[in-house]
Structure 1
């Protein structure tokens, strides 16, 4: 028995529903595992990661200071405008008669 007409759409909808349910199960499982840590365990893990990172860093400052959303947005817009301006300038290769 092969699905015909609207039966295909019903199968697609059912598959989507099953996919959403499976994603929810995975998210709940990950959340339970995350919440299973006590505050002391989380603190100990953070301290351990910090000591490993600072030991690997050897005193060099590799991270830039944290940026705000406003500085990221304005920086991105500046780069975009610079790229567009450079792209629209006439080039000797593109227009040889403009010399």
Structure 2
């Protein structure tokens, strides 16, 4: 039984490390955009959302 707890603890530590890697990678990708890039993407997404709303008005 003691060995099972060791494996469970090891699996938990690996999971926490993997989560940290994913968070760090995501943060690096977000920081790679300049303010102008972010603004342009937001404007484009807003225009796409407006186009979807105009094409499918609420009932």
Q: TM-score, normalised by structure 1?
A: 0.51
1:21 matched residue in structure 2: 17
| 2:27 maps to which of 27, 31, 45 | 31
Higher relative helix content = 2
Query: What are the superposed Cα offsets for residues 59-90 of structure 1, whole Å, 9 maximum, x if unpaired?
Result: x875xxxxxxxxxxxxxxxxxxxxxxxxxxxx
Q: Which has the higher contact order (CA 8 A, sep 6+)?
A: 1
Q: How many residues matched?
A: 58
Q: What residue ranges of structure 1 are gaps of 5+ in the alignment?
A: 63-99
- The CA RMSD over aligned residues, in Å, is 1.9
1:77-96 to 2 correspondences below 5 Å: none
